[in-house]
């Protein structure tokens, strides 16, 4: 649903798709959508192992 929010946003507007503390499991979670509106420097990505799976944590700065 957040990808739909981003697609409905006006061109050039700032869209925050991920909040601090959002977790995605890379093995069965959604892919990070490419909207063209995000500034890469606004997102920090951390990966770690949890229960044998690689998990990524994405933190957005506001």
Does residue 14 carry a pLDDT above 60? yes
CB atoms within 10 A of CB 13: 8
- Domain total for the chain? 1
Structural domain range at position 51: 2-9+16-60
Instruction: Indicate the pLDDT class of residue 55, thresholds 50, 70 and 90.
Output: confident
Asked whether the beta carbons of 32 and 43 are under 8 A apart, the reply is no
pLDDT tens digit string along 17-52?
655 455 554 444 455 555 544 444 555 666 777 777
Calpha distance 23→47 (Å, rounded): 10
Calpha distance 19→22 (Å, rounded): 6
Does residue 58 carry a pLDDT above 60? yes
Higher confidence at residue 32 or residue 54?
Answer: 54
The predicted pLDDT at position 9 comes to 66
* Contacts (Cβ under 8 Å, ≥6 apart) of 29: none
The predicted pLDDT at position 45 comes to 66
């Amino acid at each position: 649903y957040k990808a739909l929010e981003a697609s409905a946003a006006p061109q050039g507007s700032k869209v925050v798709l991920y909040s601090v503390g959002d977790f995605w499991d890379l093995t069965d979670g959604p892919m990070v959508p490419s909207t063209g509106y995000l500034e890469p420097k606004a997102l920090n990505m951390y990966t770690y192992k949890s229960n044998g799976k690689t998990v990524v944590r994405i933190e957005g700065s506001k």
